[in-house]
């Protein structure tokens, strides 16, 4: 094989590799990025995240009512039953009716919380109609992604602080060299596993957060309803570089996703053929 052929093969390969970060560097809207002084959770973009938000709000109401009720009881005790206001305290103890009430009401509150909580847990667990699958593998300290339907796989490593370009909308400790690309409005099965220790792949906007266990495959799902770039982080303390394994997900239209799959396949094929040629030439 001539040197010219090798050079062309190498050029074609590097072209595809150089175009990958360009895709990744493209600016995209970030519909769910947290902003200063933000209250509440990040904007939800999946059915699961929306239900998590509703459940969170529902719990917030219950907690508020309980806190206000307890605070009122405390204030009554402080002001009506202090030594000055009530110099001769009553001596009775036990009241069956009151004890039944303060036992049953908390039990009822727990049941009211448990029913929607379990319903949501089962809803989050898996989808029966997955249109595609992505496998997320945790490593010390980066993520590997596999798309079993298309045989695409790659590693995503954190960008060091000195490579972050704020003018391009990049964020310190949140950017990766390659982005996960997923289609919008698609039922996506997510499989979670790890090669070394326990990690947790978590993207707040999707309401997805599950442990990546070595030797075990966990399952969840998502269906993202808004285009844009979403960020997440490893959420299980996994070692010294735990804070350096961010997650970037680009959610694109179904057509763009197909184009991305083709680009990846060509890049993989180019890499394979040129490395085979290089090995053959040696
Ligand atoms: Cu971690």
Same domain, 152 and 212: yes
Per-position pLDDT tens, the chain of length 282: 455 554 454 444 444 444 444 454 467 889 999 889 999 899 999 999 999 999 999 999 999 999 999 999 999 999 999 999 999 999 989 999 999 999 999 999 999 999 999 999 999 998 889 999 999 999 999 999 999 999 899 999 999 989 998 888 889 999 999 999 999 999 999 999 999 999 999 999 999 999 999 999 999 999 999 999 999 999 999 999 999 999 999 999 999 999 999 999 888 776 655 555 555 554
Residue 253 Cα to ligand 1 middle (Å): 30
Residue 242 Cα to ligand 1 middle (Å): 4
Residue 139 Cα to ligand 1 middle (Å): 9
- The reported pLDDT for the residue numbered 73 is 96
Token pair recorded at residue 79: 């002001």
Residue 157 Cα to ligand 1 middle (Å): 13
Same domain, 153 and 99: no
Residue 88 Cα to ligand 1 middle (Å): 60
User: In 3D, which of 200, 240, 198, 201 has the Cα closest to residue 215?
Assistant: 198
Looking at 125, 146, 173, the residue that finishes a domain is 125
Same domain, 205 and 255: yes
Same domain, 87 and 138: no
In a domain, 178, yes or no: yes
Same domain, 114 and 142: no
CA 77, 79, 82, 86 dihedral sign is negative
Answer whether 8's CB lies under 8 Å from 280's CB: no
Same domain, 148 and 120: no
In a domain, 98, yes or no: yes
pTM value is 0.80
Residue 240 Cα to ligand 1 middle (Å): 9
Report the residue count for the chain: 282
Structural domain boundaries, residue 234: 132-278
State the DSSP string of 198-254.
-EEEEEGGGTEEEEE-BT--EEEEE---S-EEEEEEE-S--STTGGG-EEEEEEE-H
Same domain, 73 and 204: no
Task: Report d(CA 111, CA 108) in Å as an integer.
Answer: 5
Answer whether 181's CB lies under 8 Å from 260's CB: yes
Residue 243 Cα to ligand 1 middle (Å): 7
Residue 199 Cα to ligand 1 middle (Å): 5
In a domain, 103, yes or no: yes
Same domain, 139 and 267: yes
3-state secondary structure of 122: helix
Same domain, 198 and 119: no
Same domain, 93 and 56: yes
Looking at 100, 125, 150, the residue that finishes a domain is 125
Answer whether 23's CB lies under 8 Å from 263's CB: yes
- What CATH number did the domain enclosing 80 receive? 1.10.287.90
Looking at 106, 125, 144, the residue that finishes a domain is 125
Residue 196 Cα to ligand 1 middle (Å): 11
Residue 237 Cα to ligand 1 middle (Å): 4
Count of domains observed in the chain: 2
């Amino acid at each position: 094989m001539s040197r010219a052929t090798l050079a062309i093969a190498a050029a074609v390969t590097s072209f595809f590799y150089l175009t990958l970060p360009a895709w990744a560097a493209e600016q995209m809207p970030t519909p769910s990025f947290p902003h200063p002084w933000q209250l509440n959770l990040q904007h939800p973009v999946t059915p699961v995240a929306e239900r998590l938000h509703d459940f969170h709000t529902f719990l917030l109401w219950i907690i508020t009512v309980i806190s206000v009720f307890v605070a009122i009881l405390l204030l009554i005790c402080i002001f009506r039953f202090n030594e000055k206001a009530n110099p001769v305290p009553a001596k009775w103890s036990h009241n069956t009716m009151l004890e039944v009430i303060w036992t049953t009401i908390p039990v009822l509150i727990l049941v009211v919380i448990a029913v929607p909580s379990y319903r949501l847990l089962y809803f989050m667990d898996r989808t029966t109609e997955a249109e595609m699958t992505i496998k997320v593998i945790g490593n010390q300290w980066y993520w590997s992604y596999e798309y079993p339907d298309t045989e695409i796989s790659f590693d995503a490593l954190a960008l060091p602080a000195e490579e972050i370009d704020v003018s391009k909308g990049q964020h310190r400790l949140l950017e990766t060299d390659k982005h996960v690309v997923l289609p919008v409005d698609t039922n996506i099965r997510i499989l979670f596993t790890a090669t070394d220790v326990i990690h947790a792949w978590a993207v707040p906007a999707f309401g997805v957060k599950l442990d990546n266990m070595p030797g075990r495959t966990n399952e969840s799902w998502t269906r993202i309803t808004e285009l844009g770039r979403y960020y997440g982080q490893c959420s299980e303390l996994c070692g010294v570089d735990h804070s350096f394994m961010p997650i970037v997900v680009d959610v694109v239209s179904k057509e763009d996703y197909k184009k991305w799959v083709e680009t990846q396949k060509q890049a993989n094929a180019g890499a394979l053929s040129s490395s085979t040629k290089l090995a053959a030439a040696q």
